[in-house]
Amino acid sequence: MGIPKHILVVDDEADLVELVTYNLKKEGFIVDSAPDGETALKKIRKGKYDLIILDLMLPGIQGMELCRILRNDPKTSSLPIIMLTAKGEEVDKILGLEIGADDYITKPFSPRELAARVKAVLRRTTEKPAADKIIEAGDLVINKETYSVTNKGLPVKLSATEFKLLLFLAERRGKIFNRDQILDAIWRDEAFVEPRTVDVHIRRLRSQIEEDPAQPGYIKTMRGIGYFFDGK
């Protein structure tokens, strides 16, 4: 089974935290919690977590802001994050993904669904690439061994899911993939992921690696078909 994964649950609803903690511990995870953003940030900077479950609405530092802080810190930029959102808050879901969350789950949710999401995110963010090689395309350098990306010699901050998506496309340069094919490759059998999630991650990737995201040079769109990597 390996070493148990350490999860931090950040939510100010004590009953929900207790329920989530109980069910994740049953699945073999080590679970810690924080009632607000400030406490969570201190724990994250002091501890070693494998995944964060982060509520959108928190006292003090809001969930969105905490996610942004973590993504902008090189030490936590690839830390997997699942955001909890209120039912029907579509804008919040999209914003959460755009600032770097790996997934989201809508309240109320079943413990089984949350456990499935946690396992799926951990699986796709900890899988090792097939070979230890460097991919170069124009000014972009993708290091499969260190899970790092540089552009014009400067480090690019990507979440684990964004890195995996970029690597998937870059390894298949020139081949066009539709949303369903990308979902199947990156999110696999996760029944809860919407096709629109692909568009959000592509948009965020472009904002990170493209000189002009409106005129992408790396990740291009074949209108009506899908996306492809076209590094020069």
Distances (CA, A) of 52 to 6, 70, 102, 217, 230: 9, 10, 10, 33, 33
Q: Are 145 and 139 in contact (CB under 8 A)?
A: no
The C-alpha angle 163, 54, 35, rounded to 5 degrees, equals 150
Provide the pLDDT for residue 75.
86
Same domain? For 23 and 93 the reply is yes
Indicate whether 150 and 112 sit together in one domain: no
Domain termination site, one of 126, 160, 180: 126
- The CATH number given to whatever domain includes residue 72 is 3.40.50.2300
11 shares its domain with 116: yes
Domain boundary among 63, 95, 126: 126
Domain boundary among 85, 104, 126: 126
pLDDT at residue 189 is higher than 70: no
Burial class (CB in 10 A: 0-12, 13-18, 19+), 107: middle
Tell me: do 117 and 194 sit in the same domain.
no
With bands split at pLDDT 50, 70 and 90, how would you rate the model's confidence at 176? Answer: very high
Instruction: Tell me: do 92 and 21 sit in the same domain.
Output: yes
172 and 110 together in one domain:
no
Give the whole-angstrom CA distance, residue 130 versus residue 94: 31
Q: Where does the pLDDT of residue 95 fall: very low under 50, low under 70, confident under 90, or very high at 90 and above?
A: confident
Say whether both 68 and 103 belong to one domain: yes
The band of 217, judged by pLDDT with boundaries at 50, 70 and 90, is: very high
The answer to whether position 1 is within a domain reads no
Whether 91 and 161 share a structural domain: no
* Predicted confidence (pLDDT) per residue in 113-171, tens digit: 899 999 988 987 776 555 557 898 989 999 887 888 999 889 998 888 899 999 999 99
Q: Are residues 149 and 118 in the same domain?
A: no
pLDDT in tens, 37-87: 999 999 999 988 999 999 988 988 999 999 999 988 888 988 999 998 876
Q: What does pTM read for this prediction?
A: 0.65
Q: How far apart, in whole angstroms, are the C-alpha atoms of residue 228 and residue 215? A: 14
* pLDDT tops 80 at residue 103: yes
| Token pair of 41 as six digits | 């940030």
Into how many domains does the chain fold? 2
Q: What is the CATH number of the domain that holds 138?
A: 1.10.10.10
Asked if residue 75 is part of any domain, the answer here is: yes
DSSP code per residue over the chain: --SPPEEEEE-S-HHHHHHHHHHHHHTT-EEEEESSHHHHHHHHHHS--SEEEEESS-SSS-HHHHHHHHHHSTTTTT--EEEEE-TT-HHHHHHHHHTT-SEEEESS--HHHHHHHHHHHHHHHHPPPSS--EEEETTEEEETTTTEEEETTEEE---HHHHHHHHHHHTTTT--B-HHHHIIIIITT-TT--THHHHHHHHHHHHHH-SSTTS-SSEEEETTTEEEE---
CA distance 158 to 149: 8
Residues 102, 160 within the same domain: no
| Domain assignment of residue 90, given as a range | 6-126
